[in-house]
Chains A and B, each alone.
Chain A
Amino acid sequence: DIQMTQSPSSLSASVGDRVTITCRASQSISSYLNWYQQKPGKAPKLLIYAASSLQSGVPSRFSGSGSGTDFTLTISSLQPEDFATYYCQQSYSTLQFTFGPGTKVDIK
């Protein structure tokens, strides 16, 4: 199975800060990497697909980059509604999709 790790596991930031979250795969997954945002008590929401494509309706302050084993999600200017947990997901292995452990972004 392809294992996914994320760092940091949590971070505290202020409104307006630039935030970067890293996701690493245990083997190369090309660009088969997706990012989701989850707020407490809610279902996850797709933000970025195929490593760097912004899902329709998602604010442009969100961006994704990377390929192979290392990926990043960047929020260019953190907004109050962005405080949430962020998960990466590999879709390279269709026999076993896997998610990262999540990164919780909270208010400093």
Chain B
Amino acid sequence: QMQLVQSGPEVKKPGTSVKVSCKASGFTFTSSAVQWVRQARGQRLEWIGWIVVGSGNTNYAQKFQERVTITRDMSTSTAYMELSSLRSEDTAVYYCAADREYLTGGNWFDPWGQGTLVTVSS
């Protein structure tokens, strides 16, 4: 079945970077886009950015523009999200999600990865 499996929890110090991976299976990775969303405890879902897997084109939310890099490795069907200059407010669960209808302008997110908890603490 379609599945996204993310890397494990991370604990980082302020000012450092974190890189979260998201491995896809069960669908054509190269024909899809991958979205990244985060959720702080008790808060709403917050969109970070996305990558079109085939072309490698990316688009980032303005809030994260300076600090985020989303990449992909088509040979392993894996997408990555790296966030730099971490601060305590970045503590959240980070999700990846497949966007398999982006070419038709759909941009609905399905399926989602299980989430990766990133804790930023000194």
What is A's interface to B at a CB cutoff of 8 Å?
Answer: 1, 32, 34, 36, 43-46, 49-50, 55, 87, 89, 91, 94-102
Nearest CB of chain B from residue A3's CB, rounded to whole Å: 12
With a CB–CB cut-off of 8 A, which chain A residues contact B45? 36, 44, 87, 89, 99, 102
With a CB–CB cut-off of 8 A, which chain B residues contact A45? 110, 112
B10 in the interface (beta carbon within 8 A) = no
Cβ contact within 8 Å between B106 and A91: yes
Bound-complex Cα distance A49 to B105 (A): 12
With a CB–CB cut-off of 8 A, which chain A residues contact B106? 49-50, 91
With a CB–CB cut-off of 8 A, which chain B residues contact A101? 44
With a CB–CB cut-off of 8 A, which chain B residues contact A36? 45, 109
Question: B43-63 vs A: 1/0 string, CB under 8 Å?
Answer: 011110010000000010110
Please pick, from A1, A50, A89, A102, the residue contacting B109 in the complex, using a CB distance under 8 A: A89
- Listed by A's residue number, 6 A-B pairs whose Cβ atoms lie within 8 Å are A43-B97, A43-B112, A44-B45, A44-B97, A46-B108, A99-B46
Please pick, from A49, A55, A91, A94, the residue contacting B59 in the complex, using a CB distance under 8 A: A94
Which residue of B is nearest A99, CB measured? B45
Cβ contact within 8 Å between B47 and A97: yes
Main secondary structure of the interface of A (DSSP, over half): loop
What is B's interface to A at a CB cutoff of 8 Å?
Answer: 35, 37, 44-47, 50, 59, 61-62, 95, 97, 101-102, 105-115
Main secondary structure of the interface of B (DSSP, over half): loop
Q: A43-B95, A43-B112, A45-B112 are in contact. Are A91 and B47 (CB under 8 A)?
A: no
Bound-complex Cα distance A64 to B40 (A): 27
Which residue of B is nearest A50, CB measured? B106
Which residue of B is nearest A102, CB measured? B44
Nearest CB of chain B from residue A39's CB, rounded to whole Å: 12
Cβ contact within 8 Å between A96 and B61: yes
